[in-house]
Chain A
Amino acid sequence: MDFGPHLLLAVLEGGVTAAVLALTAMGLSIVFGVMRVVNVAHGEFYMLGAVLAWFIATTIGSHPALGFIAALMIAPLIVGTLAAGVDRLILRRINYDPERTIVATIGTLYILQQTTLMTFGPDARPVEPPFNSRIALPWFEWGENGFAMYYPWGLSTTSYKLFVIAAAAVILITLWLAITRTRAGLIMRATQQDSDMAQAFGIPVKTVYSVVFGLGAGLAAIGAVLVVPIQQAHYLMGHDPLLLSFIVVIIGGLGSLPGTIIAAILIGMADGIISVFFTPTLAKIFATLVVAMVLVYRPTGLMGKSTA
């Protein structure tokens, strides 16, 4: 393949990564924005989404589309409820103290991960995509005979990958509308701006926190359900999404939702393109150091407003 088609392929792969990453990082960002806590167990909620998707799809067992739709509906709900439970049982009791929350969510990370190891086992398990036709992509070139269109060998994507990108976009737009246009969104934003004042106006801040924590975990689970037909469900799969989500949320500006989306696209694309053209380890070292430096020298991120 030439450079051009190769790049297009990398962009398409990057698009899928970016779509899933945008969902996962959005969950982390909302939780940080509203509750001012860092959820280190976020990657494990992602992993649980994938594992539950496998479980639901296998239990239903008829046409793959049916299992997939059921997984997409049920898995995020279960994960969200579980996360709300974690909020009530652990985070609320330590009063959302930032440092203790990090320690407690590290503990939660191990509990969820190791419980999955005990029940689901150490194997990676696939979920069948609901539809998966291969789509060959054309490439245009200015050749000897003028403008020509042809199908380079290896340049293709699948209908499912395009669906993932579209689905992520729809979900994020819905979320955006819910936050900016509905009463629930208004309550959420009020709590984000000043939780004491919100409490004074009769908003049940504790319930809002539980719901937001559940929503954040649910978004990660949706991302995982979408990705599990492409990757496989595995009990250690939460590690990379956690780090990447951290990176996205930091680059985008802690708590800034538009920033999160932009950064997710940037990082997802960069990840796709870099891993096609460079050695992945070097790329990761470089990316990690760049992000650390951003946080050191511009702690509010690229789009974030400075907070007191």
Chain B
Amino acid sequence: MTDTAKSNALHFGLLAALAIGFFILPTYHSGNLARIMILAIYAMGYNVLFGYTGLLSLGHALFFSAGMYGLGLTMHLGGWSPAPAFLAALIASSIVATVIGFLVLRTTGVAYMIVTLMFAQAGYLTILYFGTYTRGDEGFALKQATRQLIGLDLTDPIVRYYTALILFATALLLLAYIIRSPFGRTLIAIRENEERARMLGYNVTAIKLKAVILSGIISGASGAAYALLFGYAGATFATVQYSILPLLWVLVGGAGTTTGAFIGVLFMTYLIDYASGQTNAYLIVVGVVLVAVTLFLPHGIMGTLRNKYAGWLP
């Protein structure tokens, strides 16, 4: 098998396993898995920028919440139906990503991280400031009656699971396609050696801006899907913690791998789930895993597998 065939087999195999999963797994775990797939979209969006372009952002919660509120507010206050609201969410996150990308790409390295962190913080505070509409930290629930798409009730577990799967599959295959395309190759070239890419004649800043926008839209789509499928939007999703989580997921799963995002979310969700049963200070596992991964597993789970055993891993 060629490497492309192998990676196709991996991606479709994963999707097939997830498609069967709903019928095999107990209700609790299939519910978890729907959430994991949606958050994995967020992690994949983050991975476009961090894993493939080499830009470590600490402010992706801004894009996630732009999507979440883009859908949430149009549905909740505007009375829109899910499909146009989802489109509105994509537009909202692409606008935010364009503006932010235009500004933050003037900086590099540590300054880039701090600036993204600050813009996300400003975004979080803005959500709090317009508390009349967004209901701040408390958030608002989307009514079950409004969460209907082409006659299907999105609150029904099976519909929710397969909607999540379709969105996840779209994001995964899109990502797999992009990294094989010339555009994706250029992103990797920039990650490996920005100066050389520039010298070869690429407009590095413009390509990085495209990557930020793409990453922002995917993250926003995840936020919108989260609000739609789980019926809740709140300012908690705009806090620093939700900017750090995708970094954690991608680091654990393996930066710059297509399936790493999903593996990372899966691993961390169950680890945090287990820890929260043991102690109320369950976020300590986030800290321990972050430190442990930087010290002992800098390439993450899939990255290490790729380096040691299977060089073809996408």
A interface residues with partner B (beta carbon < 8 Å): 38, 90, 93-94, 98-100, 102-104, 106-115, 117-118, 122, 243, 246, 250, 279, 281-282, 284-285, 288-289, 291-293, 295-297, 299
Contact = CB atoms under 8 A, between A and B. Distances in A.
B49 to A, nearest CB: 13
B115 A296 contact: yes
Interface string B80-113: 0000000000000000000000011011011101
A112 B283 CA distance: 11
Contacts of B119: 288-289, 292
A295 B290 contact: no
Contacts of B293: 103
Chain B, interface SS category:
helix
Nearest to A284: B125
B287 A108 contact: yes
Contacts of A243: 121
B294 interface: yes
A117 B125 CA distance: 25
Given A102-B113, A281-B128, A296 B107 contact: yes
A122 B280 CA distance: 10
B121 A110 contact: no
B283 A113 contact: yes
Contacts of B291: 90, 104, 107-108, 111
Contacts of B128: 281
A111 B288 contact: yes
A66 to B, nearest CB: 32
B15 interface: no
Interface of B: 56, 58, 103-104, 106-107, 109-111, 113-115, 117-119, 121-122, 125-126, 128-129, 244, 247, 251, 279-284, 286-295, 298
Contacts of A109: 287
B285 to A, nearest CB: 8
A289 B122 contact: yes
A239 to B, nearest CB: 8
Contact of B129 (A110, A115, A282, A292): A282
A98 B287 contact: no
Contact of A103 (B125, B284, B294): B294
Given A110-B290, A281-B125, A299-B111, 18 more contacts: A99-B113, A104-B290, A107-B290, A110-B287, A111-B291, A112-B287, A113-B283, A115-B284, A246-B114, A281-B128, A281-B129, A282-B129, A285-B125, A288-B119, A289-B119, A289-B122, A296-B107, A299-B107
B114 A250 contact: yes
Contact of A295 (B58, B111, B289, B294): B111
A279 B126 CA distance: 13
12 contacts: A99-B56, A102-B56, A103-B56, A106-B244, A107-B290, A109-B287, A110-B287, A117-B280, A118-B284, A281-B128, A292-B103, A296-B104
Contact of B294 (A107, A250, A293): A107
B291 to A, nearest CB: 4
B118 A295 contact: yes
Nearest to A285: B125
Nearest to B130: A281
Nearest to B275: A114
A107 B103 CA distance: 28
Given A107-B288, A110-B286, A285 B295 contact: no
A281 B126 CA distance: 8
A291 B58 CA distance: 16
Contact of B284 (A90, A114, A291, A292): A114
B279 A118 contact: yes
Given A288-B118, A295-B114, A117 B295 contact: no
